[in-house]
Structure 1
Amino acid sequence: MKQALDCFNELGVEATTIDTIKARCETSVGAIYHHFGNKEGILSALFFAAQDDQRQHLEQELAKTDSLRDAVYSIVSSYLDWVVAHPSWARFLFQARSSVSKGPFHQELKARNAKNYQELKEKLLSFEYKDTKIVQPFEILSSLIVGPSENYCRAWLAHRVQTSPSDYRDEFAESAWRSLQR
């Protein structure tokens, strides 16, 4: 899988072929088709593996929270830390999302995203807000929480900025927290 990931990251999703992956993995076309079906199967398997790993990291961090503010900080921190720890996977997620969402595994992606969204929504809504009025509708919360961090991570992964995203964990988390309050 690492070799296929490297192919997609080095050549791009469109330019990567089964033959390229076959050569890099030193395997047969038959073995690839047997395990993955086609290029889209490889792409989706990698995408879902990265997404699952990122989600597992988030869940571990959220399990430690006991307030909405802590949860927001954990969401931002876990996202930044995961990207820094797994830059190849993060780069791949950014570039492959569109292809997976338009490909034969789009329904699986849609179902996974809906499940993850619902679980996160339930977690965030489980906290007492006390005096804090939270921005509504809920569907914009994930963009408010992770949007700026994601934008910075894309720049970092593209080498347009040099400072590690983790170095700005507190700034992004506090900004996310403030963006949710009315």
Structure 2
Amino acid sequence: MNQHKILESRFPGRRAGLKREILEHALHCFNELGVESTTIDVIKARCETSVGAIYHHFGNKEGILSALFFAAQDDQRLHLAQSLAISNSLRDVVSAIISSYLDWVVENPEWAKFLYQARASVAKGPFKEELNDRNLKGFREIRAKLLSFENETTDIVQSFELLPSLIIGPSENYCRAWLADRVQTSPLDYREEFSESAWRSLQR
């Protein structure tokens, strides 16, 4: 299961086994009950461990939430970095951003659901500065990749703050609807349409 893969990548080794087990059960609790309704006691009952063990590893509920969020975010960004590394033009970069995003969501639907619902809580919680730093780092990496094609960037929208929304916005909206069963067609079936739409939105 992809839950295991992502957690093992973030928390490797036998000694981290209990930590991974707690996080995996917590992920299901958050997705089934919602962030607000999930408590330490709920997670404890689900994974059949002690409250002390949970607090030892994560401190509190916010620690669990952020550990899951950053594990998913790291995996998603690794997937993006691998796609960007083989992009040879500005248009390739746009397609890589779209494709890697859609691929990751379809491959990891439980993690994607969690990211969507947990983002606001992490953004206003005790780990908000770490989240801001991570987001800024990711934004700078994408900006640097776009600017690496200097001869092409004059033809696109110059407000780099706007670019992530222009590129990912429609895809994210559709993926949310797909994960909520409001639409049935896989996001992957619309890969070309989303890529073309994103490319057109960047033109001056």
Q: Tell me the equivalent position of 1:25.
A: 47
TM-score, normalised on structure 1?
A: 0.98
Taking the TM superposition and a 5 Å limit, the aligned residue runs for 1:3-152 are 3-130=25-152, 133-152=155-174
1:76–1:169 CA contact under 8 A, matched in 2: yes
**2:178 aligned with 1:156, yes or no?**
yes
TM-score, normalised on structure 2?
A: 0.87
Once the two structures are superposed, residues 75-132 of structure 1 have per-residue CA deviations (whole angstroms, 9 ceiling, x without a partner) of: 0000001000000000000000000000000010011111111111101111134486
- State the identity %: 75
| Structure 1 residue 26 displacement after superposition | 1.2
2:146–2:153 CA contact under 8 A, matched in 1: no
Matches of 2:126 and 2:117, distance apart in 1: 17
Indicate the larger mover: 5-14 or 136-145.
Answer: 136-145
2:123–2:131 CA contact under 8 A, matched in 1: yes
Matches of 1:40 and 1:62, distance apart in 2: 32
Which residue, out of 192, 199, 202, partners 1:170?
192
Matches of 2:183 and 2:99, distance apart in 1: 19
Moved over 4 A (4+): none
Structure 2: any 5+ residue segments left out of the alignment? 1-22
Matches of 1:17 and 1:131, distance apart in 2: 48
Once the two structures are superposed, residues 7-59 of structure 1 have per-residue CA deviations (whole angstroms, 9 ceiling, x without a partner) of: 00000000000011111111110010000000000000000000000000000
| Structure 1 residue 140 displacement after superposition | 0.3
SS of residue paired to 2:162: helix
2:98–2:191 CA contact under 8 A, matched in 1: yes
With CA pairs under 8 Å and 6+ residues apart, which has the higher RCO, 1 or 2? 1
RMSD between aligned alpha carbons?
1.0
Matches of 1:2 and 1:163, distance apart in 2: 28
Indicate the larger mover: 23-32 or 132-141.
Answer: 132-141
